[in-house]
């Protein structure tokens, strides 16, 4: 019946099963690229909506003008913008990853995917709650850095169950987050780099490493 063949085939099979059963290998680089582009557009919209008046490049003006009445009026717009960005980024991410899984002949929602998502969401949920608490304490200027730091931690946690590039991406997000919490006026800029440029960069790296060369 299913007797073993050549040792080289056996070893290939062992390696394939070990990879497939322990890591989520359907994550597509295109997911990162598309999420990054969407984040950049979203950040651009927010930037122009906030009058393009260098508010984010001048810390003193940021503290005086980014007061509550100002933020109060743009609150709804910015929140809507953020929710749309999040929804579109998630949707496109899931779309490209499903596409890749189908191409590989694998199921998208398997055990490895579940483990990756659970481990991603533990720090991410903590970060979300922490941001709400920041909002409650009127520490809005720390929200962009906090999202970056917690997102980075979440990626590092999830990277154990998928490609190691995700780990490096996580470290980059944490560094950006720490820089953003030091240079508080540049929140949106750091956010655009972290969620936009970094996703595109690492997405392209993953795409060229794992997807474009394969037949």
Partner 1 sequence: MKEIISKLNKQFESRIRLGIMSVLMVNESVDFNTLKELLDTTDGNLASHLYALERNSLLEVRKQFVGRKPNTRYKITESGRFSFREHLNYLEKLMKNQFK
- Compare residues 102 and 107 and give the one whose CB is closer to partner 1: 107
Q: Which tokens belong to 152?
A: 């980075």
If one asks whether residue 13 binds partner 1 (CB under 8 A), the answer comes out as yes
Q: In degrees rounded to 5, what are phi and psi of residue 132?
A: -65, -40
Q: Which of 14, 132, 133, 139 binds partner 1 (CB under 8 A)?
A: 14
Q: Which tokens belong to 23?
A: 């890591």
Contact 116, 74 (CB under 8 A): no
Query: What's the CA gap between 212 and 116, in Å, rounded?
Result: 24
- Compare residues 65 and 110 and give the one whose CB is closer to partner 1: 110
- Short-list 36, 34, 16, CA closest to 25: 16
Q: Which tokens belong to 161?
A: 């169950």
If one asks whether residue 12 binds partner 1 (CB under 8 A), the answer comes out as no
Residue with tokens 């001048």: 58
Give the Cβ contact number of residue 37 at 10 Å. 17
Contact 38, 85 (CB under 8 A): yes
Query: What's the CA gap between 81 and 1, in Å, rounded?
Result: 59
- Compare residues 2 and 72 and give the one whose CB is closer to partner 1: 2
Interface map 66-105 toward partner 1 (x if CB under 8 A): ----------------------------------------
If one asks whether residue 111 binds partner 1 (CB under 8 A), the answer comes out as yes
Q: Which of 68, 75, 80, 107 binds partner 1 (CB under 8 A)?
A: 107
Interface map 185-204 toward partner 1 (x if CB under 8 A): --------------------
Q: How far is the CB of 95 from partner 1 (least distance, A)?
A: 23
Stretch in the footprint of partner 1 (CB under 8 A) among 3-11, 26-34, 95-103, 195-203: 3-11
The residues binding partner 1 (CB under 8 A) are 1-4, 7-8, 10-11, 13-14, 17-18, 20-22, 107, 110-111
């Amino acid at each position: 019946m299913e007797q073993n063949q050549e040792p080289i085939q056996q070893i290939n099979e062992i390696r394939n099963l070990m990879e497939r059963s322990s890591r989520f290998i359907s994550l597509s680089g295109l997911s990162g690229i598309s999420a990054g582009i969407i984040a950049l557009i979203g950040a651009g919209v927010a930037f122009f909506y906030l009058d393009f008046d260098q508010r984010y490049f001048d810390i003193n003006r940021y503290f005086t003008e980014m007061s509550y009445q100002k933020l109060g009026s743009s609150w709804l717009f910015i929140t809507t913008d953020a929710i749309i960005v999040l929804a579109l980024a998630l949707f496109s991410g899931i779309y490209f990853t499903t596409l890749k899984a189908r191409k590989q002949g694998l199921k998208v929602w398997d055990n490895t995917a579940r483990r990756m998502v659970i481990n991603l969401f533990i720090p991410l949920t903590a970060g979300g709650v922490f941001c709400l608490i920041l909002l409650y304490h009127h520490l809005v200027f720390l929200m962009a850095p906090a999202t970056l730091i917690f997102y980075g931690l979440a990626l590092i946690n999830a990277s154990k169950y998928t490609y190691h590039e995700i780990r490096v991406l996580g470290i980059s997000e944490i560094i950006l987050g720490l820089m953003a919490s030091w240079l508080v006026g540049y929140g949106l800029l750091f956010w655009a780099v972290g969620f936009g440029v970094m996703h595109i960069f690492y997405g392209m790296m993953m795409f060229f490493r794992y997807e474009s060369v394969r037949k």
